């Protein structure tokens, strides 16, 4: 099946590692012109760019601080200006403290900070990108959520709220922009074996989590990326406004 991605301009926020990197690599393998953003680690971004270029594909990295609202439209304009538009947006980057905080112990400021990091930043990036998709009369957006948005988790009320907010946001965009051939979908991974998760979780605990998955393993970044790439491709002709779980059946 032809993905139709050859020559398409794809922006993956937080594309230096984990799911974002896996998506960037797979988009590049389909012939897309890939741009990744990073916040602080320019070395890791450069390594990802070099890895993709070494395979004969196009990739560029640009710094974009999601906590700096002024930097976001500037970065988007820079990307669109150098590439004559943006066709596919993958809102993957997240920031914020992942430490569990029980509802009675957290502060309103910390709760709002998580919403700002994960939901407001997605709004700002999307708001800056949509005009370029409208100009090109085609676009695909994929927003990374989490199974926590539907399943919940103790100590994760702010995280769950920020991620479930993406679902309503994406659904509204899907209805608003479909007539312009612009689709918006959400991908909800379960616990995924990213570098960050394998470093933070005890191996025995990861094994325990895997046993709870009907597929009897945890997902990899590549598992999630394949769904992202399909939703972001021309092969996706009619999937719009959906929130798709990538959890191995959990």
Q: Tens of pLDDT along 134-167?
A: 999 999 999 999 999 999 999 999 999 999 999 9
pTM for this model (two decimals)? 0.95
pLDDT at position 99: 80
Place of tokens 């196009």: 58
Measured in whole angstroms, how far is the alpha carbon of residue 17 from the centre of its chain?
11
Q: Which fold has domain 9-194+221-237?
A: Rossmann fold (3.40.50)
DSSP conformation letters of 90-150: EE----S--S---TTTS-HHHHHHHHIIIIIHHHHHHHHHHHHHHHHT-EEEEEE--THHH
What ranges do the domains of the chain cover? 9-194+221-237
pLDDT of residue 187: 98
Give catalytic residue positions: 159
Q: Which residues of 218-246 are buried (b: 16+ CB within 10 A; e: fewer)?
A: bbebebbbebbbbbbbbebeeebbebbbb
Which segments of the chain have a pLDDT < 50? Answer: none
């Amino acid at each position: 099946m032809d993905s139709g991605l050859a020559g398409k301009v794809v922006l993956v926020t937080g594309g230096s590692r984990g799911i974002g990197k896996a998506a960037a690599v797979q988009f590049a393998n389909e012939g897309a012109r890939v741009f990744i953003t990073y916040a602080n680690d320019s070395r890791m971004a450069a390594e990802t760019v070099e890895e993709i270029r070494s395979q004969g594909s196009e990739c560029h990295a640009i710094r974009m601080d999601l906590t700096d609202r002024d930097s976001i439209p500037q970065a988007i304009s820079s990307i669109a200006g150098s590439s004559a538009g943006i066709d596919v947006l993958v809102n993957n980057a997240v920031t914020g403290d992942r430490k569990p905080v029980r509802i009675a112990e957290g502060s309103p400021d910390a709760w709002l900070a998580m919403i700002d990091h994960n939901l407001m930043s997605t709004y700002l990036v999307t708001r800056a990108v949509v005009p370029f998709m409208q100009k090109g009369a085609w676009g695909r957006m994929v927003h990374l959520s989490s199974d926590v948005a539907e399943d919940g988790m103790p100590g994760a009320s702010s995280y769950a709220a920020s991620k479930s907010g993406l679902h309503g946001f994406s659904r509204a965009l899907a209805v608003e922009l479909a007539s312009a051939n612009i689709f918006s979908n959400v991908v909800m991974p379960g616990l995924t074996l990213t570098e960050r998760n394998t470093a933070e979780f005890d191996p025995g605990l990861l094994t325990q989590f895997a046993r709870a998955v009907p597929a009897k393993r945890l997902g990899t970044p590549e598992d999630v990326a394949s769904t992202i790439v399909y939703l972001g491709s021309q092969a996706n002709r009619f999937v719009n406004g959906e929130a798709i779980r990538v959890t191995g059946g959990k």
